Structure 1
């Protein structure tokens, strides 16, 4: 039984306070952003004048040689070829399949940090490759999606994946095939291809290092301490309001606060971060809530 199949993971309509405490999937949010940029590129690009949103946001060697364009090492990862719908479809499908599970494992905030760092690593790889061998602008989320896929395979190596929707293979086998194909392409053995193999390989390397080195990118949020404190105050105010309305009894209020804290921990760090005592607290709180609903009926 999955985390969100349990009683304390269910809910009805989401109030504004619920959205603060239990934000929607970061994976879905990233997909929405990518799709929005894709359609914005289609709408605002002008083939006659040569203006293209994609070319403006793409990464290239100029992103390094012209430092005022350094932001392109990030923005390229949210742009896709508007003349080839398969480009965004394949990337977003991979992100949807593997991203949600990895996000549940490491938490939404850490997943966002991992994803953005994978894009940046791939962006620098593309820019440096352009300096060394000559380049064309690079766009697409594939490097970050490969990083997510590799991390999924590291966490769940024996999970079966349907390759080409037909052939069942272990996740670790899929990861090996990904890396092998990209190595093959990077060596120029794949013929003429517009695929940025070096970006894929940098994403795969980042995913492997993240897993085997046991990295946690939470330190990147230190500069946002003020925003985090504000978020904590909002969550605290939300809990006090809920307790005042629904839990006048002090013992129940303490239990509800503890349940909220544990759920917040799950959203930050994943269910695997819970201790045995915290799991028992959630189960006890869940049973109490079920009993209250049954009595009300």
Structure 2
């Protein structure tokens, strides 16, 4: 059964009508992300740099973005792995459309997916999508640095937002959405178009078509891949909840204890050996002793020896 063959929602309501609680985890994520954006604007720096012709130019930078972004060496520094999550809440403060489009996508699609998954499961889905995209971004930056010598960094919630949109298309493939706020298409068609454009961008074709070279196409694809795996593998990230993680050591001890009991159960072993001996004796009665295999002979000899020892005790 394909992505667009599944029949969800047999009532007359659309996916948009299923939103019951407008104040949700999605809104909290948007508020946090926008707050970080304004912090970037508030604490920006202006640094002079000298150009090749000897003149100086003033360049704006954000210490917050630099601190929270995923860089080429993030994977090499375990103490900086928190950047694999923090980069997803940072955006280009000089381009308001970067954060605006991401938060619009999260607002429209995130609330519906949250309604479907529940607040905490959606939060786990969103954060894991960010982390997975961050790992891919770090690898991409490493490859770029080795190929060009340019140190690159990655920011933005695009990967997690793409994951949310793709998961929406999986759950509601025939729901009509509007591309560029104008063109009506079914959700599964939009999902295919998004993924196709990101694939073209990732292999470098979009650059020749006039697309921005600053778009993290590989992070978008990571988000899409994570959403598809989550949907088709029927994943549930409940095990990542704090209470589940706290119970993990006790669960491991219980499992180890059960394994030890299973491995050191002499009564069960003796009962199995007796059953095997009865089966072999029945085979001798029906087919003769010559029909026994080498393994069956060893089992019978071992059983006979154990019975003799028991009588001599």
Relative to the length of structure 2, the TM-score reads 0.64
Higher-helix-fraction structure:
1
Q: State whether residues 62 and 69 of structure 1, in contact with CA within 8 Å, keep that contact through their aligned partners in structure 2.
A: no
2:164 is equivalent to residue 144 of structure 1: no
Q: State whether residues 63 and 71 of structure 1, in contact with CA within 8 Å, keep that contact through their aligned partners in structure 2.
A: no
Structure 2 counterparts to residues 54-133 of structure 1, below 5 A: 54-133=65-144
Q: State whether residues 80 and 139 of structure 1, in contact with CA within 8 Å, keep that contact through their aligned partners in structure 2.
A: yes
Q: Distance in 1 between matches of 2:174 and 2:106?
A: 19
- Which is higher, the Rg of structure 1 or of structure 2? 2
Q: Which has the higher contact order (CA 8 A, sep 6+)?
A: 1
Number of residue pairs aligned between Structure 1 and Structure 2: 213
Deviation at 1:90, TM superposition (A): 0.4
Q: Secondary structure at the match of 1:168?
A: strand
Unpaired runs of 5+ in structure 2?
1-12, 49-60, 146-150, 247-313
Higher-strand-fraction structure:
2
- Any idea what the Cα deviations from partners look like across 1:63-84, whole Å, max 9, x if unmatched? 1112211110000000000000
Q: Distance in 2 between matches of 1:37 and 1:131?
A: 26
Unpaired runs of 5+ in structure 1?
10-21, 227-297
Runs of 4+ in structure 1 deviating by more than 6 angstroms, as ranges, are: none
Q: State whether residues 78 and 141 of structure 1, in contact with CA within 8 Å, keep that contact through their aligned partners in structure 2.
A: yes
Q: Distance in 2 between matches of 1:35 and 1:51?
A: 15
Q: Distance in 1 between matches of 2:224 and 2:170?
A: 11
Q: State whether residues 144 and 203 of structure 1, in contact with CA within 8 Å, keep that contact through their aligned partners in structure 2.
A: yes
RMSD after superposition = 2.5
Deviation at 1:147, TM superposition (A): 0.2
Deviation at 1:48, TM superposition (A): 3.1
Deviation at 1:224, TM superposition (A): 6.1
| Residue number in structure 2 paired with 1:219 | 239
Pick aligned residue for 2:181 from 165, 171, 188: 165
Q: Distance in 2 between matches of 1:124 and 1:95?
A: 21
Change (3 A) 1:212 1:2: closer
